[in-house]
Structure 1
């Protein structure tokens, strides 16, 4: 695979195909029309279902597979917004309530209904290592996962932290590109979510050593509460990069969980240099 076409969603598809070879209970359901042959379909054609535009009528099929003991992944990654379980919050919730894990673009926000569904684990991995670990965790878990994956090249923190490999990812992944202790007096910490937020945070750290960098992968209530406790023990001012705005966004949820802390979020234009300047300006405003 050429570097120009390597995407985060490719990591998911290839990893799921590997897991399918290890566990015959894993089933892949694609909720968008086919673009190219799926690696899971190539390796395990009897456990691959391409639903295309008719997937709205297939929730009961997924529920039956889950009841029969299969570990079902419903995926709606890829271009187009016409239909697809990943594109419809109501269908997403229906598949999750049926017991399937759902993989969607990271542009989809968490609905209030999803956040109230306590048994669902919400993950927004960034980079190859995190995507693989999250997908493997979902294949092992009894509870369904709501996994949001970026559409571009994966952004890894593996050069900056000692990761969990194939194991569990901690509530907070600290960027250890430099000694964390150097940043504690500054009191300002970036919190990155998803591929775009992580890419921006790493670019900021290349320009300035002042703001610390904490990275979040799991955003369900239990994980975010644990993350908030760990963050607040180290810092009291935060700039959130990535995630979504509004009541279900990471910034507002962290603000509620850390009432004594200042939590700001920055918009991202997609122009990296301008976005880095915007983050550094926010950091300067938060200085004591």
Structure 2
């Protein structure tokens, strides 16, 4: 879309350092051993802990810090070249159970396990602005948050919405770029989740501007239930783009919550396919048979 992209984990670390300046309870635990300059370490060395691969010590430290009243954020999990992917879900769940928020790039944690922890918020931000807003919301609430980000990000790939700076993210973000009356004139609504899902939804809307577009950042059970009610009040047919596939994904969750609505899902690109092909598939799902 012509916008400069940045590394998503850099946005995460820089914003966390800014939040730490405003809130002395915020602590950063870095899971990646060694590495380049860390903005949180430079700004708040007394609240920065780099423990590398000493996993048992990290989890115990997180538990102690949370018990002492600190807001703990774990960074770098899964970024190291020597990290074994098979242990990431176990580590992620351990940190969340201890009460920390965890940034997890490029990986999928078992959603069933996440949903079994009712205090845990599940965030899939799209764009640098949403990453910042999710971090500020987690720091303010004190609730552990599972934050899944991509490799690179840009605010050009995000649903247009105002007022993100304070971290107050609504359950449903309505695309303010939609033409007046669009949402009322069509029964079908694109529901985007994450970087790829949002990029796909915006491309589909460029092809078919009469489609409504709603965007979800949080997909845990409580947020999804609130979103379901708001979506159903406006639309009877939902096409969910992005998010996780399977019985614990957002599309299946909305399908269970809204038995009176038609809920379709396109969670990941077709194997071996192209973005253009995904746009066509999504457009076909949105238009329905014979349209």
Whether 2:208 is the aligned partner of 1:208: answer yes
Q: Would you say the 8 A contact 1:154–1:195 is kept in 2?
A: no
Q: Would you say the 8 A contact 2:236–2:262 is kept in 1?
A: yes
Cα deviation code 1:203-233 (max 9, x no counterpart):
1111211321110011111110000001111
Segments of structure 2 that go 5 or more residues without pairing to the other structure are: none
Residue 160 to residue 140, structure 1, CA distance change in 2 (3 Å): closer
Cα deviation code 1:234-269 (max 9, x no counterpart):
111111111111121111111001111111112324
Q: Which residue is equivalent to 2:32?
A: 32
Q: Would you say the 8 A contact 1:106–1:124 is kept in 2?
A: no
Alignment of 1:227-242 (within 5 A): 227-242=227-242
Whether 2:102 is the aligned partner of 1:99: answer no
Displacement, 1:287? 7.2
Displacement, 1:77? 5.5
**Aligned-partner SS, 1:9:** helix
Q: Would you say the 8 A contact 2:128–2:153 is kept in 1?
A: no
Q: Using the alignment, how far apart are the partners of 1:31 and 1:257 within structure 2?
A: 37
Q: Which residue is equivalent to 2:79?
A: 78
Q: Which residue is equivalent to 1:276?
A: 279
Q: Which residue is equivalent to 2:219?
A: 219
Displacement, 1:281? 1.4
Alignment of 1:158-169 (within 5 A): 160-169=160-169
Count of equivalent residues: 285
Q: Would you say the 8 A contact 1:194–1:217 is kept in 2?
A: yes
Residue 159 to residue 213, structure 1, CA distance change in 2 (3 Å): closer
Q: Using the alignment, how far apart are the partners of 1:125 and 1:186 within structure 2?
A: 27
Q: Using the alignment, how far apart are the partners of 1:263 and 1:195 within structure 2?
A: 20
Displacement, 1:192? 0.6
Q: Which residue is equivalent to 1:121?
A: 121
Q: Which residue is equivalent to 2:192?
A: 192
Q: Using the alignment, how far apart are the partners of 2:261 and 2:125 within structure 1?
A: 25
**Aligned-partner SS, 2:181:** helix
Residue 204 to residue 138, structure 1, CA distance change in 2 (3 Å): same
The range that moved more, 251-260 or 266-275, is: 266-275
Displacement, 1:97? 1.4
What is the TM-score when the length of structure 2 is the normalising length?
A: 0.89
Q: Using the alignment, how far apart are the partners of 1:110 and 1:163 within structure 2?
A: 32
Displacement, 1:71? 1.1
Root-mean-square deviation (CA, aligned residues, Å) is 2.3
Q: Which residue is equivalent to 1:256?
A: 256
Displacement, 1:155? 4.1
Q: Using the alignment, how far apart are the partners of 1:241 and 1:34 within structure 2?
A: 37
**Aligned-partner SS, 2:147:** strand
**Aligned-partner SS, 1:192:** strand
Alignment of 1:1-150 (within 5 A): 6-75=6-75, 76=77, 78=79, 80=81, 82-83=83-84, 88-105=88-105, 107-150=107-150
Segments of structure 1 that go 5 or more residues without pairing to the other structure are: none
**Aligned-partner SS, 1:146:** strand
Cα deviation code 1:164-191 (max 9, x no counterpart):
4314111000112123522433211111
Q: Using the alignment, how far apart are the partners of 1:45 and 1:220 within structure 2?
A: 33
